[in-house]
Amino acid sequence: MNILISGGSGFLGSAFSDEIMARYRAQDKALHITWLTRDSSQAHPNDIEMMTYDELASSDKSFEVVLNLAGAGIADSRWSDERKEQLLASRIKPTESLLAFIKRTSIKPKLMVSGSAIGWYGTQGDKPLTEGSGFETDFAHRLCDEWEQLALTATDYGVPVAIVRTGVVIHPEGGMLGKLLTPFKMGVGGQLGDGKQIMSWISREDWVEAAIFIIEQHLASKGDSDANTTHDNALQTTNDTTAVVYNLTAPNPVNNHTFTKTLGSWLHRPTFFTLPNFLLKLMFGEMSTLLIDGQKVLPQALQDAGYKFKHPTLKQALEEQK
């Protein structure tokens, strides 16, 4: 299998690459991974081939799977107007390059898996949200929706698309947990606001396993639309080409109070502090909605398709990390 990945060196792309290479090597299956990059000198594992976006524009290589993960971290800095433009451009420009390649190449990929986030649903409190749920309009929704709609253009060229809406990814090496470890280890970690806001999370290992599951399920079904569509996760396209969406979240979301206590217990540290909402808004501005306003997003389509979570609870996700 040949896989092309944008964002391959990132928090998710690198873990995906490591796991699928180890798995296919153990099964004696052929696998070749290419990371798209803007810097040809970027450090990378020896088993990974690097390709610049300029090289992609004229490449005649073929790939069975395209994994589109490129995008600046939405929670890395305050949402100024300039930052919002950067967040959108960092997703749109790589996707446009991939679509231009897909349009031009004579041998089309069998599947494009494109990143998104549960921010697509907007702020909806503790209302259970599945792939068939509607949305509330805010910046996070608009960002995710524009990215998703562009990725779905691949179906115009006969390439099936799977959108993966990712929750808070749990792993000590990065993401939200990586940022929280230092203050919690110092004993100054604590609850955000009233602690009632729901956090929909997934362990990084389950994210990787789920992404591989989606890819292998699709390839095994040979594009049959019934085999790739479960309940309400089908997306509308302009033709008969399959497009589906999956929530990549664990089946047991928790509120911030529970998350704080579970993390403190895992680290054997107290969690006495509370950051009130007004202070979070003062510190983070509009971006504070990611911390204050919850989302209860459930992985209905993934479970209906038969995926079994390695870490269905937050305690397991913390205690059993690779």
DSSP 233-296: -B---SSS--EEEEEE--S--EEHHHHHHHHHHHHT----EEE-HHHHHHHHGGGGHHHHS--E
Place of tokens 């990586």: 178
Q: What is the pLDDT of residue 226?
A: 47
DSSP E strands: which ranges in the chain?
Answer: 2-6, 32-37, 48-52, 65-68, 111-117, 128-129, 161-166, 168-170, 190-192, 198-199, 201-203, 243-248, 254-255, 273-275, 296-297
Contact 139, 88 (CB under 8 A): no
Q: What is the pLDDT of residue 309?
A: 98
Contact 240, 155 (CB under 8 A): no
Contact 135, 79 (CB under 8 A): no
Q: What is the pLDDT of residue 227?
A: 47
Q: What is the pLDDT of residue 89?
A: 96
Nearest CA to 213 out of 297, 306, 131, 130 is that of: 306
269-312: pLDDT as tens digits: 999 888 888 888 888 888 888 888 889 999 999 999 999 999 99
Q: What is the pLDDT of residue 41?
A: 74
Three-state DSSP class for residue 32: strand
Nearest CA to 321 out of 190, 207, 189, 214 is that of: 207
Q: What is the pLDDT of residue 222?
A: 63
**β-bridge pairing 65-68 and 168-170:** unpaired
Average pLDDT of span 8-31: 94
211-238: pLDDT as tens digits: 999 999 999 986 454 444 555 799 989 8
Question: Using CA atoms, how far apart are residues 34 and 17, in angstroms rounded to an integer?
Answer: 10
Average pLDDT of span 77-96: 94
Phi-psi map region of 223: left, alpha, beta (phi>0 left; psi -120 to 50 alpha): left
Average pLDDT of span 180-191: 88
Question: Using CA atoms, how far apart are residues 201 and 248, in angstroms rounded to an integer?
Answer: 8
Q: What is the pLDDT of residue 38?
A: 87
Contact 137, 286 (CB under 8 A): no
Question: Using CA atoms, how far apart are residues 295 and 126, in angstroms rounded to an integer?
Answer: 6
Q: What is the pLDDT of residue 17?
A: 97
Question: Using CA atoms, how far apart are residues 235 and 78, in angstroms rounded to an integer?
Answer: 32
Question: Using CA atoms, how far apart are residues 35 and 44, in angstroms rounded to an integer?
Answer: 9
Q: What is the pLDDT of residue 285?
A: 87
Q: What is the pLDDT of residue 320?
A: 85
Q: How many CB atoms lie within 10 A of CB 120?
A: 23
Cβ neighbours of residue 143 closer than 8 Å, sequence gap 6 or more: 74, 84, 87, 88, 91, 119
Q: What is the pLDDT of residue 61?
A: 93
When pLDDT is cut at 50, 70 and 90, the band that residue 188 belongs to is confident
Contact 172, 178 (CB under 8 A): yes
When pLDDT is cut at 50, 70 and 90, the band that residue 103 belongs to is very high
Dihedral sign, Cα of residue 202, residue 207, residue 209, residue 215: positive
- Tell the burial category of 28 from Cβ atoms under 10 Å away from its Cβ (0-12, 13-18, 19+): exposed
35-80: pLDDT as tens digits: 999 887 777 778 899 999 999 999 989 999 999 999 998 888 889 9
Question: Using CA atoms, how far apart are residues 292 and 37, in angstroms rounded to an integer?
Answer: 35
Tokens of 167: 């929750």
Tokens of 227: 């085999």
Average pLDDT of span 96-120: 97
Q: What is the pLDDT of residue 231?
A: 56
Stated pTM of the model: 0.93
- Tell the burial category of 74 from Cβ atoms under 10 Å away from its Cβ (0-12, 13-18, 19+): buried
128-180: pLDDT as tens digits: 999 999 999 999 999 999 999 999 999 999 999 999 999 999 998 887 788 88
